[in-house]
Amino acid sequence: MTKVAMIGVGKLGQACAEVMAEHYPLVGYDVLPKEPKNFPMVNSIQEAVKYGDIIFIAAPTPHDPRYDGREPTHHLPSKDFDYTIVKDILTKVNEYSDRSKLVVLISTVLPGTVRRELEPLITNARFVYNPYLIAMGTVAWDFVNPEMIMVGTENGSKTGDAKELLDFYKPMMKNNPRYVVGTWDECECIKIFYNTFISAKLSLVNMIQDVAEKQGNINVDVVTDALKDSDQRIMGPRYMTAGMGDGGACHPRDNIALRWMADQLDLGYDLFDSIMKAREIQAMNLAEALVKHDLPVVIVGKAYKPHVPYEAGSYSLLVGHYVEKIFGTPVYYDDDYTGDKPPDTLGPASYLLAHDPETTFLGCLDPDPNKQGSSLFPEGSVIIDPWRKCPDIPGCTVIHYGNTRLC
C-alpha cells in the first residue's frame, strides 16, 4: 500500500493528513509540536522522506503582514509571496530522495513560480504541483468534497505521475469531483484565479449594494437574485449575495500578489488593484453608514467568517479601520470565537452585523414584541444589517443596508 508523508502539519496540512490517514499509512513532520488524532509525527524531514512513497508539502507562502487585507493595501507597492519556507523544505526533501519518491507541492504560488524557482530544486525525485481549493474552518470537508482536483505536471501529461496521484485521491472523495490535469503553470493559474474570481464577484455584487444606497428605490437582493439565476452567460449562484467584502487568509493576499505578477509580465493593466480598491471603498462606505448616527460602533463578528477564530484578512477589521482612522469613532467587536466583547456599560451603539445573522444569532433574539431592545442590542441602538435578514427590534432602528425601496 502507498505510504504517505505530510511535511507541514498546520491548519491545512493536519486536517488533510488526518483524512488521508484513514485510507493510507501516513506520518507527519512539522517544526512545531503537533498532536494529530490518527497518525504519528516523526522528528525530521529525513525520516518523513524515508517513510513516504508520496511526500506532500503543505508549507506556507506568506505575504508581508501589512498585506493581509485587514487594512487598506492598494496604495502599497506590489509584492510577490515569500517562497523561502517552501524552497528550504524542497531542498531538504531533495537531499534525502530518489526517483521512487513523488514530491507533491500543495502551496499557493504565482504562475511561473514552480517552473522558474521550485521544481529545479527537486533533482532526485519526481515532482507534481497539486494546490487545493479549501477554506479555513472547513478544511476536512472541503478536502473530500472538492469542486475539482488539480494536478500539474511539466507538460500536462495525464499519465505517469498524474495518474498515480489521481488514483491516490479517488478512494477518499465523497463527491464526484472534476479531475483537471495541466501544466504546472496552468494549475498555478487555476488556483489563484479561482480565488480572484470570487473576490471580483463579491466586489461586483457589493457595488450593486452601493448603487442601491446612493440611487434609492433598489433592493439589492432583487437584482442579485436575478443575476445569480442567469446561468447561461453569468456563472453560478455562489458569492452572489451582497453583504461584507471578501476576506480570509488567501483571497485578499492573492489579489495583492497578482498585482505584482501583472507588473512583472507588463500586462499594461491591473484589474487586481481595482478589485482591492473597490473592496476598500466599499468597506469605507459601510464605516460611514455606521458612524453617521453619532454612537459608538460595535462590529458583531470580528473573524473573517462565522464560527472560526481566524482574523487574517478580516473584512470586519477593514471596516473597523475606517471607523477609527478616518472617522475617529470608537469601535468595539463582539465575537465569541475571538474572545471579543464590548463593555457591559456601553449603552446604545451603532451595530454592524458583519456575520450573516441567519447563521449566528437570530435564534437568540427575544421574541417578545413588547420588550424594548433585546439581550444583544440595547434600546436606542442602530443596527446596520448588510444581509437584510434582521427583523425589527422594538426600541432599535434596523437598517437593511442595500435595500432602499420606499416600501
For residue 128, give the H/E element and its range.
strand 126-129
- Confirm whether 264 is domain-assigned: no
> Quick check: helix, strand or coil at residue 297?
strand
**What does each C-alpha distance from 69 to 246, 251, 312 come to in angstroms?**
9, 9, 8
State which amino acid sits at residue 271: L
- Confirm whether 12 is domain-assigned: yes
Identify the sign of the CA torsion 170, 174, 177, 183: negative
- Confirm whether 188 is domain-assigned: no
Helices (H) and strands (E) in the chain, counts: 11, 12
pLDDT number for residue 76: 80
State which amino acid sits at residue 329: T
Spatial distance between the Cα atoms of 233 and 319, rounded to a whole number of angstroms: 33
8 Å CB contact between 396 and 371: no
Q: Which residues span the domain enclosing 117?
A: 4-182
- Confirm whether 50 is domain-assigned: yes
Angle 210-216-218 (CA atoms, 0-180°, nearest 5)?
80
- Confirm whether 365 is domain-assigned: no
Q: CA nearest 122: which of 144, 140, 104? A: 104
8 Å CB contact between 218 and 400: no
pLDDT number for residue 375: 66
8 Å CB contact between 381 and 353: no
- Confirm whether 208 is domain-assigned: no
DSSP 54-76: EEEE-------GGGSSSS--TTS
- Number of domains comprising the chain: 1
Spatial distance between the Cα atoms of 120 and 91, rounded to a whole number of angstroms: 10
- The CATH number of residue 167's host domain is 3.40.50.720
Each residue's pLDDT, cut to its tens digit, for the chain (407 residues) gives 899 999 999 989 999 999 999 999 999 999 999 999 999 999 999 999 999 999 999 999 988 777 777 888 877 888 899 999 999 999 999 999 999 999 999 999 999 999 999 999 999 999 999 999 998 889 999 999 999 999 999 999 999 999 999 999 999 999 999 999 999 999 999 999 998 888 888 898 999 999 999 999 999 999 999 998 888 877 777 778 888 988 877 777 888 888 888 889 898 988 888 888 999 999 999 999 999 999 999 999 999 999 999 998 899 999 999 999 999 999 999 999 999 999 999 999 999 999 998 888 776 666 565 555 566 899 999 999 999 999 999 999 999 999 998 75
Angle 327-330-332 (CA atoms, 0-180°, nearest 5)?
125
Spatial distance between the Cα atoms of 353 and 85, rounded to a whole number of angstroms: 38
Spatial distance between the Cα atoms of 104 and 152, rounded to a whole number of angstroms: 10
Which residue's C-alpha cell is 499519465? 159
- The greatest distance separating any two alpha carbons of the chain, rounded to the nearest whole angstrom, comes to 74
- Confirm whether 107 is domain-assigned: yes
For residue 149, give the H/E element and its range.
strand 148-153
8 Å CB contact between 297 and 350: yes
- Confirm whether 110 is domain-assigned: yes
pLDDT number for residue 13: 95
